A and B are shown apart, each in its own frame.
Chain A
Amino acid sequence: MKQRILRYFTLGLAFVFPPLEADEERTLFVAFAMTKAQEASSIPTDSGIFLRNEEDDSWRRIGPVIQSMNSLAVDPAAPATMFMACGNGIVRSKNGGETWRMVTGWRESDFIKIAIDPKNGDNIYATSVWGFHLSRDGGDSWTAANKGLEETYCRPIIVDHRKPKRLLLGTGNGIYESRNAGDSWTRARNSPQSAILRMDRSRKNPDLWIAGSEGEGVYLSTNDGKSWQSVAEALSETNVYGVSLHPENESRMAAGGWSQGVWVSNNGGESWEYRNSGLPSKNVTAVVFDENHSDRLWVSTFEEGTYYTDDDGKTWKDGDLYGAYVFDLDFVARAKE
């Protein structure tokens, strides 16, 4: 069932959580390509972005059908405004998905992730394999902004809800921080040297961040992304494509990677437990805690389906998507019907 996310007020802490609307609903989306049945062809048999329909436990397509659709972002302050990160560029809807427009030109391509300033929806940030891009006009125009980056290959991007001019970016050689809304970048202390594949930030404790890397496993930051430490020794040489922090319990976190399956920590990253038993594959491409079901964890395996557990990985239930290569599995604000 749908569950409303209330504005967080954490007594004793000197901050107020992001300005989520009191009645904001969040929904799970998936971006994937159906690659398993792809034989003697470079074209997947299907691809797209789908929203989870909890009424009937199904996936409902949103937006156009384009090959290479990698992620979805929704403006939390105006959930009818959505952006899709695609191979072709960025595609935007301003009316809840009724119509779409490609808002980038030929110079921009191969986008992976999009983040929106929660206080000012004109500021949109997007990563692509060619670099970091930003828009100051709600996505109408885009500029490359790679000043300070050693490598322009970029994947995860997160806006600091407390200070929206602060961004954390995962690049081809580690984590970078911007304090001027993307105009320039500096490298985070003790960041992994390798590519950052995925990042998440705790909603419960915004000082807590997690990152999955290419070949260097899982990294945690407990000081708001200023410095990073390696955790989860079993995954220390793994390509970790999925990381997630529990939305309500800062002690709980999950990570999943190639050939190592999914691992969970219930003590803030001190120790990690293998939770892949029952899953059909150890090749994990996405991991996310459910924001509507407090004990639910979602995991996507490479071409073998997406699954969820409600009992900390003891048993897994089929979430469909057999054959899919899931690029992104995450929660976004839901546009009001």
Chain B
Amino acid sequence: MINLYSQIRSQRGFAVVALFATALAFGEVAPPAAEISEADLVRQYRERCEYVIDQTVANTDPSDVTRGSSFTIAANLFRGENLDWARERLRLSNDPPTGAMFWMHPMALLMHAGRDQLNDDDWAFIRELWRTYFPYRGDTENHWVMYYVSLYLVAEMFPDAGPADWYNGKSSKEIMADAKEFILDWMRITTSYGQGEYDSPNYIEEYTRPMALLVGWARDPELQQMGKMMMDYILLDYAVENLGGLYGGAHSRLYPRYLLQPGMAHSAAHAWLLWGQGEYSSNGGTLMIAMSGYTPPSILFWIASDRDQAYVHKELKRTRWRFRHAGPNAFEVDGKKTIPVYKYSYVHPDFILGSSQGGLLQPIQQQTWSLVWREENLVGKSNTLFGLQPYSSPIEGTMYFNSDWDTVTDLIARSKVDYDSPDKLEGGSPYEQVFQHESSLIALYDIPEGTRFPLISTLFSRDVNRRIEDDSGWIFGQGGPIYIAYRPFAPGEWKPVDWTGLLKGGAGAWFSTGFKDLSEGSECLVSYSLKNGYIVEVAPVSAYATYQEFQEAVRALPVEIRLKPTPKVRYTNLDGVELEATYGGAPSVDGQKVDYASWKLFDGPFAQAERESQSLEMIYGSERYVLDFKNRSVEPSVLESQ
């Protein structure tokens, strides 16, 4: 493995790191290292936290009680500002309460952060809400985490409250015992088998919010400690695949707007708050973190920021629990079935190419693979390329959702309005198999006759410039600091990203707002060949004297493609590594089969975790930071020597 640590020397309370080297072209001499002390890191982070809270308060219009979320009310109460507005807005926005766990967790924040400002009438009003409003627990992992963390923390405020005081007829003690057991079990499962709703650039905040609540306000020392550790864990999971605020790689869930403009995702707002990357944007998750007092360990900052050298990072995740159609690869945890997800990311100073193995790994919003690249200014940038086989089926729906075969697809599309569209940009397919080695990716498709949407689609965003369809069969392009080569196995046609056709009866709302701006100029290469595939090869611009030279190098690469009876490819990449893959079989690198069975939870230069270990070791130079969930402990250390 490349040496990441050569430029880093760690001393007690002081570190010298190569920071913000990101604008550098790969291979160039690094600039003088920026110096920053841990104290300065914390100070700057705390300043950003204050800014987030201040901005939320500053954006409050105290003359308008019809607008303002519970987050905003909480921030105002926290600051002691606009109290009359906050009281009125609290009442108006809860007449009646809605949103289940999305109501619960900002309400918990409001109650804790605003407790010094709330008067007896306010408390009586709030207590009545918790007595009468019966929130749905939801059907996704993030729903449950938000539900139980919120419920625990509110019950903890009133430990002697009896069954008559709560919507569910349980006492506070019963509620806390049940909720705590769930929270700790979720952490055990996640740190043993991988997160189910893994690496989502938008749903990351549905985890950082509840963890922030635990960090900031849990009185139970065990839950507070575990909340802090789990926050570190989730952020590390992001940090290792972060490129200046872009959450690279394969994702469990992603909405189209974030697929098209990765810099808009909630993860980017987190990168700004936590690591000072990118631009500030208003975000509930960052507000909660800011108000909670959570301070990330400095090692997270180094890991998220140091992109001086390229590295491979692998992860083991899992699918959401499946209660039907689990399939032959399923394994059981405590009676619930799931499938392993093998993630592979190549994190380069200029780009991240990342993938999972393909297949149905998550309902609805899976991104099987993606390429993102660094841009100086992410605003308005569609700096991405990715592919999919648009698939929708009651098989997928009834794997995960308690709905009937004939209604599940329709009901999914009531909120995820593009789910049942051939033009959609996200989703897994059982007919897709993906394999990656560093900056080379191979995708194979074997689509049965009669499949609902018999096509594959690859998005070439508007920021893939200088596109050339070469006589060799390769398509070339340039995205910011990288060259891209794409070799389709079958002909296709270019189609604009047309959002209007996805919407049924004008539905869509937030889902489609501003989509013209997001998608205009981007195109999908759509191929209707059922036996299909492609190669993606990426290289930094700095590695070649000219664009032409890159093209010539790619043209010279040996490629053998066979589509029948089932797709197969043998390909030697720009580094001279021979990759071979057959649909349905194990891929190989220089003749060696990829050993998925040995995949670890985290396996990269910055993070190591064994399956079922309930622990995670963060690594940066001589620094180690071990999260030990079995023993509920954190162990930071500095190695004496390398």
A: residues with CB less than 8 A from B are 35, 38-43, 64-68, 87-89, 91, 99-102, 105-106, 109-110, 112, 129-131, 144, 146, 151-153, 172, 195, 197, 214-215, 239, 241, 258-259, 283, 285, 302, 325
Contact = CB atoms under 8 A, between A and B. Distances in A.
Given A130-B323, A130-B336, A87 B414 contact: no
Given A42-B414, A100-B169, A195-B324, 17 more contacts: A38-B411, A40-B508, A41-B414, A41-B415, A43-B100, A66-B136, A87-B139, A88-B137, A91-B168, A101-B168, A102-B170, A112-B402, A144-B335, A152-B335, A239-B404, A241-B404, A258-B406
Contacts of A325: 407
Contact of B167 (A39, A64, A153): A64
Contact of B169 (A101, A146, A195, A241): A101
B509 interface: yes
Nearest to B412: A42
Contacts of A259: 406
A189 to B, nearest CB: 24
Contacts of B181: 105-106
Choose among A39, A172, A195, A241 the residue with the greatest number of B CB atoms under 10 Å from its CB: A39
A33 to B, nearest CB: 9
B136 A106 contact: no
A285 B405 CA distance: 11
Contact of B407 (A100, A101, A153, A302): A302
A129 B402 CA distance: 7
Nearest to A105: B178
A67 B136 contact: yes
Given A66-B134, A144-B335, A102 B168 contact: yes
A148 to B, nearest CB: 14
Given A40-B414, A42-B414, A144-B335, A106 B179 contact: yes
B507 interface: yes
Looking at chain A's contact residues, the main secondary structure is: loop
A39 B134 CA distance: 22
Nearest to B510: A40
B499 to A, nearest CB: 14
A128 to B, nearest CB: 8
A4 B47 CA distance: 73
A160 to B, nearest CB: 27
Smallest CB-CB A-B distances: 7 pairs: A101-B169, A67-B136, A42-B415, A106-B182, A40-B509, A102-B168, A258-B406
28 contacts: A39-B505, A40-B417, A40-B511, A42-B414, A42-B415, A64-B134, A64-B167, A87-B136, A87-B402, A88-B136, A89-B137, A91-B169, A99-B169, A101-B163, A101-B170, A105-B178, A106-B181, A112-B402, A129-B324, A130-B323, A144-B335, A152-B323, A152-B335, A239-B405, A258-B404, A285-B404, A302-B406, A325-B407
Looking at chain B's contact residues, the main secondary structure is: loop
B431 interface: no
A112 B100 CA distance: 20
Contacts of B386: none
Interface residues of B, number: 39
Nearest to A112: B402
Choose among A38, A43, A146 the residue with the greatest number of B CB atoms under 10 Å from its CB: A43
A66 B178 CA distance: 19
Nearest to B323: A129
Contacts of B509: 39-40
A241 B335 CA distance: 27
Contacts of B602: none
B301 interface: no
Contacts of B136: 66-68, 87-88
Contact of B402 (A40, A64, A68, A102): A68
Nearest to B167: A64
B148 interface: yes
A215 to B, nearest CB: 8
Nearest to B505: A39
Contacts, number: 99
Contacts of B144: 106
Interface in B125-146: 134-137, 139, 144
Contacts of B402: 68, 87, 110, 112, 129
Choose among B135, B144, B404 the residue with the greatest number of A CB atoms under 10 Å from its CB: B404
A109 B414 contact: no
A35 B410 CA distance: 10
Contacts of B182: 106
Nearest to B177: A105
B137 A39 contact: no
Nearest to B508: A40
Contacts of A151: 324
Nearest to A103: B169
Interface string B87-127: 00000000000101000000000000000000000000000
A48 to B, nearest CB: 10
B406 A239 contact: yes
Contacts of A67: 100, 136
A106 B405 CA distance: 26
Nearest to A99: B169
A258 B167 CA distance: 36
Contacts of B335: 130-131, 144, 146, 152
Nearest to B137: A88
Nearest to B140: A42
A25 to B, nearest CB: 26
B256 to A, nearest CB: 14
Nearest to A65: B134
Nearest to B415: A42
Contacts of A102: 168-170
Nearest to B98: A43
B264 to A, nearest CB: 19
A41 to B, nearest CB: 5
Choose among B144, B185, B414 the residue with the greatest number of A CB atoms under 10 Å from its CB: B414
Nearest to A33: B411
Contacts of A88: 134, 136-137
Interface in B247-287: none
Interface string B391-420: 000000000001011110001001101000
Choose among B179, B324, B336, B511 the residue with the greatest number of A CB atoms under 10 Å from its CB: B324
Given A40-B510, A41-B414, A258-B406, A153 B324 contact: yes
Contacts of A241: 404
Choose among A43, A68, A102 the residue with the greatest number of B CB atoms under 10 Å from its CB: A102
